[in-house]
Structure 1
Amino acid sequence: MNDDSRLRQWRERTEVPLFLASAVFLGCYAVRILDEDLPQGWRDVLLIVTYVTWALFIVDYAVRWRLSGQRLAFVRTHPMDAIVVVLPLLRPLRIVQLYESVQHRRAQPRLSLYARVIAYAGLSAVLLGFAGALTVYAAEHHAPGATITTFGDSVWWTCSTLTTVGYGDVTPVTPEGRTVAVFMMAGGLALLGAVTGSFSSWVIQTFTLDQDRQPPGGPPGAADGG
């Protein structure tokens, strides 16, 4: 069995467990951030579970790097995998890869290319927004002069940032919050560009197909003057 086959089998076997681990990671992080009255014992348990799931992702990356046989080329060709190992809050974006795998279990994808891009972008925006809202809330709500004092404020700020609206009524004041804001702005532009670009391409393609279906000489009835 060659390395490509072993790597493919590893991915197929671990995609669902790693997706579940991603959900557990984000859930533990969310509970520790949002429930400030949680007993310290439970907080320690959640922290241990968080580190265990993080370790699973590191092991998965190391195994795939070893099976690929590409050495440093694997890091260059899989930048997102390396980023999410360093920033585990982006781990839930693995659901996009899982969705891609499920869609291709048949010979042809079940969704058109444009619909898939829009679906992936929307799903990524929800997951990225939730993770970003948690991080900003954790950094901001106890900071002096903070305008983001509740999780609702953080969600509102996240929505306005990802959609590039930016009302400015609530803004991060801490270095951590502003760092997250930079990534949220970049992510919002990328996701919005993917959605609008795909929709525009779909509209252009639709009109082009309609024109190709028209018979030569113009619309029906033009030749007989009626």
Structure 2
Amino acid sequence: MHHPILRVLRGVRMTATAKTDAHAELRSRISGVILFTIVLDLLCGTVAWALEAHRGEITTFGDALFWTTTQMLTVSSQFPNPLSTGGKLLDVFLELYALVVVTSVAGAFASFFHRRSREHAQAGGSSS
């Protein structure tokens, strides 16, 4: 039996190289979520900076990007809540987006495991 860490690394390698159709689909979904999240983070950082600059502790684009990133990671930050109405709406949007990403990624993994299970069952059934 392989060590659990080696099994995980093998699975990551198989996904990165799209070893099967299921691995390719998982890679595509995860890559899409990551790319979209990075772009959205940059856009929301810009909006946060425009809305909150000089109203509170967010005084630079770096501060705004840090705040949006931590909100998207649902870990919050040392910055206080936004002061402007637009900033508060952006905060709620980022929290909702984080929930959608978590559930989407969980769904992608569930779909992957279901598909891999069917692939294993078909491979076992065809060799009988």
Give a deviation string over 1:169-224, Cα, whole Å, max 9, x none.
11322212111111222222222322221023213322443344346xxxxxxxxx
Radius of gyration: which is bigger? 1
- When structure 1 is superposed on structure 2, of 146-155 and 132-141 the one drifting more is 146-155
Does 2:57 correspond to 1:172? no
Superposed CA RMSD in Å reads 2.5
TM-score by length of 2: 0.66
- Give 3-state SS (helix, strand or coil) of 1:147's partner: coil
Give the number of the structure with larger relative contact order, counting CA–CA contacts within 8 Å between residues 6 or more apart: 2
Matches for 1:16-165 after TM superposition, within 5 Å: 112-143=24-55, 146-165=56-75
Aligned-pair identity in percent equals 25
Partners of 1:127 and 1:173 in 2: CA distance: 24
- Give 3-state SS (helix, strand or coil) of 2:27's partner: helix
What letter is aligned with 1:137?
W
Judge conservation of contact 1:161–1:185 (CA < 8 Å) in 2. Answer: yes
What letter is aligned with 2:112?
W
Matches for 1:195-206 after TM superposition, within 5 Å: 195-206=105-116
Partners of 1:164 and 1:201 in 2: CA distance: 24
Structure 1 residue 126, shift from structure 2 partner: 1.1
Q: How many residue pairs get matched?
A: 103
Give a deviation string over 1:63-108, Cα, whole Å, max 9, x none.
xxxxxxxxxxxxxxxxxxxxxxxxxxxxxxxxxxxxxxxxxxxxxx
Match of 1:210 in 2: 120
Structure 1 residue 124, shift from structure 2 partner: 1.4
Partners of 2:96 and 2:54 in 1: CA distance: 26
Structure 1 residue 147, shift from structure 2 partner: 2.4
What letter is aligned with 1:194?
S
Partners of 1:175 and 1:203 in 2: CA distance: 42
Q: Which runs of 5+ in 1 are unaligned?
A: 1-110, 216-226
Give a deviation string over 1:126-172, Cα, whole Å, max 9, x none.
111111001111111211xx122222221121112112222x41132
What letter is aligned with 1:172?
P
What letter is aligned with 1:201?
S
What letter is aligned with 1:189?
L
Matches for 1:5-24 after TM superposition, within 5 Å: none
Runs of 4 or more off by more than 6 Å in structure 1? none
Partners of 2:41 and 2:88 in 1: CA distance: 15
Judge conservation of contact 1:136–1:180 (CA < 8 Å) in 2. Answer: yes
Structure 1 residue 112, shift from structure 2 partner: 3.6
